[in-house]
Structures are given as structure tokens and as C-alpha cells.
Amino acid sequence: MCVTGELNKGMGNQRVDKSKAYLLAVHLKSQDINRTLAALDEVRSLAETMNFEVVGQEIQSRDAYDSKTYIGTGKLIEMRRIVEDQDISLVLFDHELTPNQGKFLEKQLGCMVLDRTQLILEIFANHAQTPEAKEQVELAQLKYMLPRLVGLWAHLDREKGGIGLSKGTGEKQINIDRTIIRKRISKLEKSLGKIARERQTQSNLRKKCFLSCVVGYTNAGKTSLVNQLTGAGLYIENKLFATLDSATRVMDNHTKPKILLSDTVGFIDNLPHSLIASFRSTLSVVKEADLLLHVIDASNPDIDKVIETTTEVLREIGAANIPLLIVLNKIDLVEDQVEMLVLKKKFPEAVMVSALDIQSVQRFKKEVSGFFERNLKSERTLLPYERSSLLSKFYQLGMVEKIDYEDEGIYITHKMTPTNQKILAASLLETANR
Ligand SMILES: Nc1nc2c(ncn2[C@@H]2O[C@H](COP(=O)(O)OP(=O)(O)OP(=O)(O)O)[C@@H](O)[C@H]2O)c(=O)[nH]1
Ligand SMILES: [Mg+2]
């Protein structure tokens, strides 16, 4: 499903004419202007990711958002002239518009209007490659659309006299559409549920390993680091949301158990809730991780916001309590020594890395292995001789450090992840009960 279908025609490298886009933001006087500027910059990156040509931008200072026009009547008139004079195809807003505001603005401006959420949904729709990602995006779009149907069909009721429709035609159409959309949502949820169960089987296999997962803001360099650390060859791009699927690769073969590294979809400020909900199964890998590597673009001027956003999403998906290592990537772009010192002071525990510098990547790899070793406690378990067949489980699930054969049984000194400890305990209990 693609709202910008017409505009997107010929997108990609072959695109000849880029659609001209204009950015609009409302700055509330009570807010920090830097945040408004940063939000507008982000909309620009989203627009560029969609291959639109951003030809201008405006910031309107107001005490409050205007409920009808969002930007205020004066600015709207000024904007209409700009749209006409410069042949603008679409106006992009830094904020989520109400369905009525969206429709009203489109009518007044005479061009397509997209808000931040729609833009993000469009990018996801464009980038989705796998059947799972496509279904997740469609689900998010339908959930976004459902409460907005009133706005879409209200005109039918308003215009009923003129076009000869009976009273309430719009309302009836809304009910038909709602039923169709609800059916499709339920079908998609069933299909995604099936994929999630298959994913669970894969994850049971993964549990035998130590799972680390990169998380963080979109474009922070997560996939680049995964590629450097594992040789994965995953797709990277200097655009937002290049990655929409999870991918897991072996990072270290020499440890017991192996260390795996997963890449996954990036986050953004005010990530639409429908998207987070729909991407739950893709993000399940984050929830299962033994260690999260929070990758941050060190050259981002608003690191606090980036951390805030990631922390918030991690909380929302139930991954807030997993051990987390801060990774300041793109350190090669921080040229100012003072800035570097500020970063070191602010994040004394962080790993500083550049995905472009192999030596720093190797140091980073050691940090992850070190974390893994530090966090695995040595345990000593007694295995009675009559259950010695379970010895192989210890080797499968962790590192066996020492074995002592005593009169009462085999004492095994081992290290394993908390998840694998639980799997082992369950196996021991199961055989004890037989
Ligand atoms: N200068 C510099 N550029 C980097 C570094 N790491 C990644 N990049 C660039 O940053 C851009 C984004 O990199 P990705 O690895 O796709 O970022 P990501 O976090 O996976 O992004 P999404 O999947 O879109 O969320 C690419 O153009 C990379 O080449 C780095 O350490 N230094
Ligand atoms: Mg990526």
C-alpha cells in the first residue's frame, strides 16, 4: 500500500524527476528552538530517504498549534503561494496531523500533504523486502488508517446533495471499509503470529549461544558494525531505515558457547506506535539478547535525544532490563578534541569505535567477548553417575572448565549464560523426575 504511489514512480537510481517537497514546522514558543530545528532536519532526512527534492522550509512560531490549519491562516496563505510559484508536489510536516487537518491542508494547498508518521510508514513500505516485513508494514498502515476513515469519507456526506447520494452514504462507506480493513488486520495478525512461532523455534536454537544485539537510532551505523564484526555483508546505506529485518550471524566461533550478533531495525524519535506493535516479532530478537549494544552516532549533535528514544522503545518492547553497552560509533567524524573529551567524560564506560577503522572494531570485539566472560559466573554442579549421559549438555550449553570424578558423582565446573542455566536446570529436573 503506497500513499505516494504516483510520486514514487521511477524511484530509485533510475528516477529522473524528483518530486519537489517543502518542509513545514510549527515551533511552539514554550519549546526549545534547537529541538524544532532538529525535528525539521530529521523530516528532511526522511524526505531525502524517499528521494524527494527538498526545495525549502519554513518554521512558524506560535503559542499553540491551530486546530484547523495547524500552521495558522496567515502562514497557510503564504504557503499556498509558494506551492503555486515553485510547483511543489508535496508539503511535509514535522508533526502528526489530525485527519481533518491533513484533508483541510491538502485542499487549501492544492498538493499532497504528509505528516511525519505517514512519511515514516511510507519509507517502511518502500524498504520492506521480506514477506514478514511487508506484512508488518501493511498492518501498521491499516492500524494507522482505521481511525482516520471518518476524515476520508466525510466529504461524501457533505457532498451528497450535489452528487445524488443518499443521506449517510459516507457513513455506510466507512462501515464497509472498516469491516474490510478489520478483516485484513485479523488475517495479517494471524499470518504474523505464524511467522512469530517459527521464529520462536529458531530462537530456541539460538539460546544455546550467547546472543548480543545491536540496537539504536536509525543510521547510527549498526549494520556497518555487524558487517565488520561478522563479515555478514548486509545491506547498508546512508539513508534512514535501511534495515527492516533482523539478521543473526556468528561473531566469535572460538568461545563456548559461540557469540552471535544480531542486527535489527533502527529507531526514531516518535516512532509510530502502530509500527512498534507490528514489528514486535522482528524485535523479539532484542528481547532475547544476553547483551544489547546500543550504537550511537557520536557525531549526532543531540545524543541525549537519541538515547532517550532508544531507552523508551526498549522499555516499550520489554527489553529495558537487559545488560547494555554504549557504543559510540562514527568516532572518525568527531574531529574536535574538546568534543571528544566531553564524550569521554559523559560516557566513561562507552566503547569508542569507527566502523571504518578495523583496529577499533577489533578492540570493540574484545570488549564484547570480555563482557561475555565477565558476566558468566562459574558454577559447580554435581551430576550423579546414573545420569552421566547429560554431561554432553554441559558442553552444548556452555564452557566446561573442570571435571572431578568423586564417589558421589561427577562435579562439573562450568560457565554459561543465565538463559542456558535455566535450560540446563530444566533438563536436569526432567531426567530426575523420570
Ligand atoms: N564516517 C563513518 N560513517 C559510518 C560509520 N559507520 C557507518 N557509517 C555510515 O553511516 C551510514 C549508515 O550506516 P548503516 O550501517 O546502514 O546504519 P544503521 O544504523 O544500520 O541504519 P538503519 O538500518 O537505517 O537503521 C552508511 O552510509 C555508513 O557507511 C562510521 O564509523 N564512520
Ligand atoms: Mg541497518
Q: Is the CB of 84 under 6 A from ligand 1?
A: no
Q: Compute, in angstroms, the gap from residue 73 CA to the centroid of ligand 2.
A: 41
Does the C-beta of 293 come closer than 6 Å to ligand 1?
Answer: no
Ligand 1 atom closest to residue 227's alpha carbon, by position in its atom list: 15
pLDDT tens digits along 345-376 = 999 999 999 999 999 999 999 988 888 878 77
Helices (H), 375-417: 391-397
Helix 131-145 vs helix 169-206: crossing angle, to nearest 10: 140
pLDDT at 184: 93
Q: How many CA atoms lie within 13 A of 354 on its CB side?
A: 11
Which value, in Å, is the radius of gyration of the alpha carbons in the chain? 26
Strand ranges of the sheet holding 53-62, from the earlier edge strand across to the other edge: 53-62, 20-28, 90-93, 112-114
Per-residue pLDDT, averaged over 409-422, amounts to: 86
**What span, in angstroms and rounded, lies between the C-alpha atoms of 253 and 288?**
20
**What predicted TM-score, i.e. pTM, was given to this entire model?**
0.83
**For residue 315, pLDDT beyond 50:** yes
What residues does 91 pair with on adjacent strands?
Answer: 22, 113
Q: Which atom of ligand 1 is nearest to the CA of 226?
A: 15
Helices (H), 207-233: 222-230
Closest of 313, 320, 319 to residue 269, by C-alpha: 313
At 264-309, the pLDDT tens digits run: 999 999 888 888 888 888 898 899 898 999 999 999 988 999 999 9
Q: Collapsing DSSP states into helix, strand and coil, what is residue 120?
A: helix
Could you tell me the pLDDT band of residue 13, with boundaries at 50, 70 and 90?
A: very low
Q: Which among 223, 226, 228 is positioned nearest to 239, based on CA atoms? A: 223
pLDDT at 9 over 70: no
Give the pLDDT of residue 235.
92
Instruction: Evaluate if residue 15 carries a pLDDT over 80.
Output: no
Torsion sign (Cα): 393, 394, 395, 397? positive
Using pLDDT thresholds of 50, 70 and 90, give the confidence band for residue 405. Answer: very high
Over residues 312-318, mean pLDDT: 94
* Smallest CA separation from ligand 1 atom 27, residue: 238
- 240 Cβ closer than 6 Å to some ligand 1 atom: yes
179-199: pLDDT as tens digits = 888 999 999 999 998 888 877
| pLDDT for the residue 50 | 93
116 lines ligand 1 (CB under 6 A): no
Q: Which residues contact 400 (CB under 8 A, 6 or more apart)?
A: 256, 394, 412, 413, 414
Mind listing the pLDDT tens digit for each residue in 165-178? 455 655 666 677 78
Question: Per the structure block, which three cell numbers stand in for 411?
Answer: 562435579
382: amino acid identity, one letter: L
Distance 240 CA to ligand 1 centre (A): 10
